[in-house]
């Protein structure tokens, strides 16, 4: 099955499991430590249900929100995914472009395969950066100063 034929998240997961090296898939699919939070999140999402309302005019609807001074078309923010470039060529740039195109937020990981400058010039103009504060505080400060 090709990813364009996937219908469910389970379909995408199975495609990834077959195509990615085992260690890469394990990183993508797994959680930290005993994976309890991962299971709890899956259970919580599994309890969500859509409640469709018929015969409602949605031609003028708006989902826009303002978060920290940035306005987005939808209350979604793509969270930081370390090593996205391992899963897809220029992964962070592709995700940043998609979020820019759709008008939703994006946060780049400290563990990105590309630089902040690459995302800013080829992906998203306004985005956040998840900084893992390093033991070397000078290095952490230099990242913040260089990109403000």
pLDDT in tens, 27-76: 889 888 999 999 999 999 999 998 888 898 988 989 999 998 889 999 99
Contact call for residues 1 and 11 (beta carbons, < 8 A) = yes
Angle separating helix axes 22-29 and 9-19, nearest 10 degrees:
150
Q: What is the mean pLDDT of residues 118-136?
A: 86
148 band by pLDDT with thresholds 50, 70 and 90: very low
Exposure string for 15-43, b = 16+ CB within 10 A, e = fewer: ebeeebeeeebeebeeeeeeeeeeeeeee
Mean pLDDT of the chain: 88
Sequence-distant (≥ 6) Cβ neighbours of residue 64 within 8 angstroms: 71, 72, 73, 74
Contact call for residues 28 and 20 (beta carbons, < 8 A) = yes
144 band by pLDDT with thresholds 50, 70 and 90: low
**Residues paired with 106 in a beta bridge:** 78
């Amino acid at each position: 099955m090709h990813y364009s034929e996937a219908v469910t998240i389970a379909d995408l997961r199975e495609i990834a499991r077959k195509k990615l090296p085992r260690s890469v898939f394990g990183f993508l699919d797994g959680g930290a430590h005993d994976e309890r939070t991962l299971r709890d999140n899956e259970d919580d999402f599994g309890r969500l249900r859509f409640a469709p309302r018929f015969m409602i005019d949605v031609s003028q609807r708006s989902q826009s929100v303002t978060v920290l001074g940035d306005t987005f078309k939808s209350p979604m923010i793509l969270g930081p995914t370390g090593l996205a470039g391992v899963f897809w060529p220029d992964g962070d740039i592709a995700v940043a472009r998609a979020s820019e195109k759709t008008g939703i937020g994006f946060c780049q990981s400290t563990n990105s395969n590309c630089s902040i400058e690459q995302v800013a010039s080829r992906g998203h103009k306004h985005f956040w950066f998840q900084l893992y504060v390093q033991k070397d505080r000078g290095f952490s400060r230099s990242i913040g100063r260089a990109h403000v």
